[in-house]
């Protein structure tokens, strides 16, 4: 079913909602339409006709509780690295573990980068120090509610782009990644899209969800 991007009053992306729920929020005065469906589809009812929304914005601020670590997915990692190989700057086609899994490297944000196939094969199971390679920018955990929506259904909707985009990686220059710098945490559980940011109980009651 078609989903609609829901923004906070601050234009921060919160989650996605079903089309029916989005229409109810708009008609109930709890949200306003920011962008209509690009195809111009119109919903008809007995007494009202409403252009199909693509992005809606709440009429009042909803507080978001503390967010857990953003799940590591291929789509999110590619977007974090701007679809560029971390080693040569070319077009990325796969994911590489900076410290190979065979050498106790972990499958976490801080140890994963986008890579082209050529660099991935050249590096194989070796460390960067063994190749004389360095990372211009170390991998970091992306932050922000919009990262949880990466890969969601209709993620390719051009109306959503401005709200789901962020400059690559929250990039912070620092020394090249060292084995000791990788935090040993368990990989986050995989979940199917679309992903939703949890809201507080008062917010859920107000939204009627």
pTM (two decimals): 0.56
Distance from C-alpha of 95 to C-alpha of 125, rounded to nearest angstrom: 13
- CATH architecture of the domain 74-151+165-181 equals Orthogonal Bundle (1.10)
Quote the radius of gyration of the chain (alpha carbons, Å). Answer: 20
Distance from C-alpha of 147 to C-alpha of 68, rounded to nearest angstrom: 12
For 164, what's the count of Cα atoms within 13 Å in the CB-facing half-sphere? Answer: 25
Start-end ranges of CATH 1.10.30 in the chain?
74-151+165-181
Digitized pLDDT (tens) for each residue of the chain, 209 residues in all: 688 999 999 998 888 888 899 999 999 999 999 999 888 788 877 777 788 999 999 999 988 766 667 888 898 899 899 899 999 999 999 999 999 999 999 999 999 999 999 999 999 999 999 999 999 899 999 877 677 676 655 565 788 878 876 543 433 333 334 433 333 333 334 434 444 555 666 666 666 65
Report CA dihedral (92, 196, 141, 65) to the nearest 10 degrees: 170
Q: In the numeric block, which tokens belong to residue 112?
A: 């994963």
Report CA dihedral (171, 162, 20, 23) to the nearest 10 degrees: 130
Distance from C-alpha of 127 to C-alpha of 111, rounded to nearest angstrom: 12
């Amino acid at each position: 079913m078609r989903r609609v991007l829901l923004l906070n009053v601050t234009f921060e992306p919160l989650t996605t909602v079903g089309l029916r729920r989005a229409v109810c929020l708009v008609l109930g005065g709890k949200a306003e339409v920011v962008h209509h469906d690009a195809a111009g589809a119109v919903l008809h009812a007995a007494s009202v006709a409403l252009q199909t929304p693509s992005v809606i914005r709440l009429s009042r601020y909803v507080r978001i509780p503390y967010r857990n670590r953003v799940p590591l997915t291929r789509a999110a990692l590619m977007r974090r690295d701007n679809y560029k190989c971390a080693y040569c700057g070319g077009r990325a086609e796969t994911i590489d573990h900076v410290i190979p899994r065979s050498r106790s490297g972990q499958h976490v944000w801080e140890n994963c980068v986008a890579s082209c196939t050529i660099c991935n094969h050249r590096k194989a199971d070796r460390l960067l120090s063994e190749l004389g390679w360095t990372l211009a920018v170390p991998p970091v955990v992306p932050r922000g509610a919009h990262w949880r929506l990466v890969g969601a259904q209709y993620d390719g909707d051009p109306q959503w782009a401005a709200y789901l985009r962020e400059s690559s990686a929250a990039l912070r220059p620092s020394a090249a990644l060292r084995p000791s710098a990788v935090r040993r945490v368990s990989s986050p559980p995989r979940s199917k899209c679309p992903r939703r940011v949890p809201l507080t109980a008062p917010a859920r009651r107000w939204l009627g969800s």
